[in-house]
Amino acid sequence: MTIKVLEWFGVITAIFYSILVASNTGNEVFGFALLFISAIAIGLWAFLCRHYGMLMLQFFYGAAGLVGVFRWM
């Protein structure tokens, strides 16, 4: 898996997350799950590329994704 795949997979899943949550159509659990998946992908990319500030941000996004999933279940 190339580093670019991690980066763009994370970006695309984050886009879908934001659309699902903002649309308020009852798909919030799936949206927050996508946020968590996105945080893992971008976090791994950030770690491999030594973007430690971005990595720290992904810990927050991952935690927010988990809270969102459990809150909306």
Q: pLDDT tens digit string along 15-42?
A: 999 999 999 999 999 999 999 999 999 9
Tell me which DSSP letter residue 72 carries.
Answer: H
- Report domain extents, the chain: 3-72
For the residues of 6-64, what is the DSSP string, one character each?
HHHHHHHHHHHHHHHHHHTSS-HHHHHHHHHHHHHHHHHHHHHTT-HHHHHHHHHHHHH
Asked if pLDDT for residue 1 goes beyond 70, the answer is no
Provide the whole-model pTM.
0.92
Residue 10 exposure: Cα atoms within 13 Å on the Cβ side: 21
pLDDT of residue 73: 83
Predicted confidence (pLDDT) per residue in 61-72, tens digit: 999 999 999 998
Q: Which residues contact 46 (CB under 8 A, 6 or more apart)?
A: 52, 54, 55, 58
**Better-scored residue on pLDDT, 73 or 40:** 40
